[in-house]
Amino acid sequence: MNQLVPRLSVPAALALGSAALGAAFATGLFLGRRFQRPQRLLPAEDHPLWQYLLSRSMREHPALRSLRLLTLEQPQGESMMTCEQAQLLANLARLIKAKKVLDLGTFTGYSAVALALALPPAGRVVTCEVDPGPPELGRPLWRQAEVERKIDLRLQPALETLDELLAAGEAGTFDVAVVDADKENCVAYYERCLQLLRPGGMLAVLRVLWRGEVLRPRPGDAEAECVRNLNERIRRDARVYISLLPLGDGLTLAFKI
């Protein structure tokens, strides 16, 4: 009688165990691919090519650099605008000869200082913040950059400041608006900033990819929903020309027609 020859040269229990592990691994890979949430589109900041890009393009004022390094030491330091984003916005502000800028979400003032440096001596950055701590920390470096007098810090919810500016008749007088405060109000910020901008003015919205969550927000993730709604609104908005750049966590530029 023919004896059944085992097809594997390992005991059955071990073979079964390996098969189960293999199946689990494959399922993990599949689910991992399916539910993986992309964090960023560009290489990591410590990637040599990204470092090369920064080293060949960044022209950071020494006080601005000190402010960035100081901010990175703080617990929420990562919420600062990235240096290449700030430099791009400052260059665009120069290009359109900006004099009046709105900055929603001051934090330690990195974006406010970068923009103030791009303005002529009589230029003004109205910057909005609810937490007095971070601007207080950054203020000595605003002074060192010699832009402190250009920065008008409003310590109250940004919506209140925007409504005050509209009530004071400043609609259509700002050249640049940067929206980088809380996400729950981002649609209201967008609409008010658009009113405050002059035709040809530029509106920048930060973090529009929301760490990839815009693809498929988790149930109850109000911030991701708000960002998605704003992105959709901007896409359909015939009042602006737009670009969405993959810099940082996504940067939308909307130019008022």
Task: Please report how close the Cβ of residue 240 comes to ligand SAM at its closest, in angstroms.
Answer: 21
Segment 95-134, which members bind ligand SAM (CB under 6 A)? 105, 107-108, 110-111, 128-131, 134
Angle of helix 62-72 versus helix 133-144 axis, rounded to 10: 160
CB-based contact 254:237 (threshold 8 Å)? yes
CB-based contact 153:127 (threshold 8 Å)? yes
Q: Which stretch binds ligand SAM (CB under 6 A): 15-23, 51-59, 180-188, 244-252?
A: 180-188
Distance CA 253, CA 240 (A): 9
Nearer residue to ligand SAM within complex by CB, 129 or 213: 129
Q: Which stretch binds ligand SAM (CB under 6 A): 10-18, 56-64, 74-82, 167-175?
A: 74-82
Ordered DSSP codes for 155-222: ES-HHHHHHHHHHTT-TT-EEEEEE-S-STTHHHHHHHHHHHEEEEEEEEEE-TTGGGTTSSPPTT-H
Task: Please report how close the Cβ of residue 57 comes to ligand SAM at its closest, in angstroms.
Answer: 18
Q: Taking every pair of C-alpha atoms in the chain, what is the biggest distance, in angstroms?
A: 102
Q: Which two tokens stand for residue 216?
A: 């498929």
Q: Which two tokens stand for residue 21?
A: 């592990």
Task: Please report how close the Cβ of residue 124 comes to ligand SAM at its closest, in angstroms.
Answer: 17
Asked if 181 touches ligand SAM (CB under 6 A), the answer is yes
Distance CA 50, CA 224 (A): 27
Which residue bears the tokens 């992105």? 231
CA distances from 25 to 120, 155, 245 (A): 60, 52, 36
Task: Please report how close the Cβ of residue 115 comes to ligand SAM at its closest, in angstroms.
Answer: 9
Among 182, 191, 223, 237, binds ligand SAM (CB under 6 A): 182
Distance CA 18, CA 22 (A): 6
Asked if 157 touches ligand SAM (CB under 6 A), the answer is yes
Q: Which two tokens stand for residue 207?
A: 């973090």
Task: Please report how close the Cβ of residue 257 comes to ligand SAM at its closest, in angstroms.
Answer: 26
Asked if 60 touches ligand SAM (CB under 6 A), the answer is no
Asked if 152 touches ligand SAM (CB under 6 A), the answer is no
Determine the size of the site formed for ligand SAM (CB under 6 A).
18
Which residues lie below 8 Å from residue 225, measured CB to CB, with a gap of 6+?
217
Task: Please report how close the Cβ of residue 113 comes to ligand SAM at its closest, in angstroms.
Answer: 9
Task: Please report how close the Cβ of residue 17 comes to ligand SAM at its closest, in angstroms.
Answer: 49
Asked if 223 touches ligand SAM (CB under 6 A), the answer is no
Asked if 79 touches ligand SAM (CB under 6 A), the answer is yes
Query: Hey, how many other C-beta atoms are within 10 angstroms of the C-beta on 237?
Result: 16
Nearer residue to ligand SAM within complex by CB, 22 or 163: 163
Which residue ranges make up the site for ligand SAM (CB under 6 A)?
79-81, 105, 107-108, 110-111, 128-131, 134, 157-158, 180-182
